[in-house]
């Protein structure tokens, strides 16, 4: 009698999570080579692993200065990891398959849909092509706009710096290769501020918002501004929440830091405004710093933690719990206060599954933040606010630090590595991965009983 052979295939969630692990490990091995170090002496493996993780997870926290610790080869490895991490490992592999004229199978489409958190698998090959072409186009334009600033200062190397910075900004990585103090030297440079913020915001809006806006703009000639009423609910939420958070966050930062001589206190009003807006943008997963983060007042730092936790928007290069998540939660709370049975937004009813998912995402994100803060506090002597800033930055893949990252011991580095990874793969992926293999719902309906909440 032949024994039945049972094979258990990895779920799409496991494949996505494993793909990031493999890329991080490969990147860490390359960065641990002597050729990757600026002085030709291999850096400690934990620093190579940390750098590979922060690049692949498009975070930006670094234990060693990127500009001086790594060679040109090391910078190339880091940039490749940033591009792979920004697009997603599955997207890059699918793009390679498409370029080789290979057809995407059903499982490939399922993987892509899960990787981008989409609710449909229709025409995924076209979607991948659009994502890759759109990404490279925007990054290329960004690099060209950077060149008038970097080429005069750095010569021919300025071209490489412009390309690196454009990719890093669009992917919301926040890693640069021209200074150890990030963009502090360009805090009051309008062009650098504008280009960086534009790249960060475009990457953070999400690809499906891009295509939706382009779709309705085709009808502008016949419908005028009324065409924007045809945007999907998702796009409307993102396009309303994004400027509200940028302007609102910038206004609060301006008010809190207005007289702080260590940040914007000595600047002109125009420069105060542009630096405050830049800080508001960069805290929502970009990671570039135009002012020393350790110099921010405590109230400002706490505000930045909130902005970091919210993050960018779904189906893009940004991290965080996402703007749509918090808008849905706010709408659900408002509807509860008004005793409404359904959650509504902009004259549309939000699906119950979306509300439950928003609760799960926010809850899991907060759990990751709380656990990592507790663990990091246990292995470091840093002030709690600095630790919270660090873990919020890692959880939301932001990359800002109050100068804590370079001082971390091995345990601290490992904790932040784990936090960055969990923040990048996403709380929903983590929850699903943990629940795979659990018994399916058996259809039993249990009695309902009232409980007291709040």
In a domain, 315, yes or no: yes
In a domain, 128, yes or no: yes
H or E, element range at 345: strand 344-345
**Ranges 88-92, 195-199, 217-221, most confident:** 195-199
- CB-based contact 232:212 (threshold 8 Å): yes
pLDDT at 70 over 50: yes
Tell me which residue range forms the domain holding 340: 12-429
pLDDT of residue 101: 58
What angle do the packed helices 12-31 and 45-56 form, to 10 degrees? Answer: 130
The sign of the dihedral angle between the CA atoms of 398, 399, 401, 404 is positive
- Secondary structure tally for the chain: helices H, strands E: 19, 2
pLDDT mean over 169-184: 92
How many percent of the chain have pLDDT more than 70?
85
270: left (phi over 0), alpha (psi -120 to 50) or beta: alpha
Average pLDDT, the chain: 86
Give the integer Cα–Cα distance in Å for 19 and 25: 10
Say which DSSP state 120 is in: -
H or E, element range at 81: helix 72-87
> What contacts 11, CB < 8 A, 6 or more positions away?
432, 433, 436
Confidence of residue 258 (pLDDT cuts 50, 70, 90): very high
Distances (CA, A) of 70 to 30, 43, 84, 188: 11, 9, 19, 28
pLDDT in tens, 308-357: 999 988 877 788 888 999 999 999 999 988 888 889 988 889 988 889 88
In a domain, 123, yes or no: yes
Confidence of residue 95 (pLDDT cuts 50, 70, 90): low
Structural domains of the chain, count: 1
Distances (CA, A) of 263 to 268, 321, 385: 12, 28, 18
In a domain, 1, yes or no: no
In a domain, 106, yes or no: yes
pLDDT of residue 246: 95
- The rounded Cα 200 to chain-centroid distance in angstroms is 10
Confidence of residue 175 (pLDDT cuts 50, 70, 90): very high
Question: Where does residue 227 rank: exposed (0-12), middle (13-18), buried (19+ CB within 10 A)?
Answer: middle
pLDDT of residue 29: 97
Report H helices in 104-232: 106-115, 124-154, 157-170, 190-205, 207-217, 220-223
In a domain, 105, yes or no: yes
pLDDT at 2 over 60: no
- Helix/strand/coil (H, E, C) string of 404-453? CHHHCCHHHHHHHHHHHHHHHHCHHHHHHHHHCCCCCCCCCCCCCCCCCC
pLDDT mean over 420-433: 72
In a domain, 168, yes or no: yes
pLDDT at 14 over 60: yes
pLDDT mean over 113-142: 75
H or E, element range at 308: helix 298-310
pLDDT at 267 over 60: yes
> What contacts 254, CB < 8 A, 6 or more positions away?
264, 272, 273, 276
Backbone angles phi, psi at 307, to 5 degrees: -65, -40
In a domain, 192, yes or no: yes
How many residues does this entry show for the chain?
454
């Amino acid at each position: 009698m032949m024994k039945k052979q049972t094979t258990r295939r990895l779920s799409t969630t496991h494949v996505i999570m494993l793909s990031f692990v493999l890329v991080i490990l490969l990147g860490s091995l390359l960065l641990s080579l002597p050729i990757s170090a600026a002085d030709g002496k291999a850096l400690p493996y934990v620093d190579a692993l940390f750098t590979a993780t922060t690049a692949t997870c498009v975070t930006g926290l670094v234990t060693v200065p990127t500009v001086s610790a790594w060679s040109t080869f090391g910078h190339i490895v880091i940039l490749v990891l940033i591009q792979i991490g920004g697009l997603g490992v599955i997207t890059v592999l699918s793009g390679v398959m498409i370029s080789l004229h290979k057809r995407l199978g059903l499982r490939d489409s399922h993987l892509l849909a899960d990787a981008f958190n989409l609710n449909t698998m229709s025409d995924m090959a076209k979607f991948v092509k659009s994502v890759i072409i759109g990404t490279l186009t925007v990054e290329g334009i960004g690099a060209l706009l950077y060149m008038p600033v970097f080429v005069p200062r750095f010569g021919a190397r300025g071209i490489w710096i412009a390309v690196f910075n454009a990719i890093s900004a669009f992917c919301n990585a926040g890693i640069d290769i021209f200074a150890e103090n990030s963009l502090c030297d360009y805090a009051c440079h309008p062009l650098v501020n504008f280009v960086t913020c534009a790249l960060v915001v475009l990457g953070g809006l999400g690809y499906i918002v891009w295509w939706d806006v382009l779709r309705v703009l085709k009808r502008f000639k016949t419908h005028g501004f009324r065409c924007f009423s045809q945007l999907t609910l998702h796009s409307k939420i993102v396009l309303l929440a994004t400027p509200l958070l940028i302007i609102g966050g910038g206004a609060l930062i301006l008010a809190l830091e207005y007289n702080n001589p260590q940040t914007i206190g000595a600047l002109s009003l125009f420069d105060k405004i542009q630096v405050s807006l830049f800080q508001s943008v960069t805290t929502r997963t970009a990671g570039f710093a135009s002012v020393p983060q350790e110099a921010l007042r405590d109230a400002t730092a706490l505000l930045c933690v909130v902005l970091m936790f919210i993050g960018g928007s779904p189906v893009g290069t940004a991290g965080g719990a996402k703007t749509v998540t918090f808008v849905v939660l706010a709408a659900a709370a408002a509807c509860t206060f008004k005793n409404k049975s359904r959650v509504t937004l902009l004259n549309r009813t939000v699906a119950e599954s979306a509300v439950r998912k928003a609760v799960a995402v926010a809850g899991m994100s907060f759990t990751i933040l709380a656990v990592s803060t507790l663990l990091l506090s246990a292995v470091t002597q840093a002030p709690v606010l600095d630790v919270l800033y660090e873990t919020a930055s890692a959880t939301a893949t932001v990359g800002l630090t109050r100068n804590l990252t370079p001082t971390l011991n091995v345990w601290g580095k490992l904790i932040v590595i784990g936090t960055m990874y969990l923040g990048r793969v996403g709380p929903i992926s983590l929850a699903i991965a943990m629940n795979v293999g659990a018994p399916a719902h058996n259809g039993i309906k249990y009695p309902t009983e009232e409980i007291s909440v709040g």
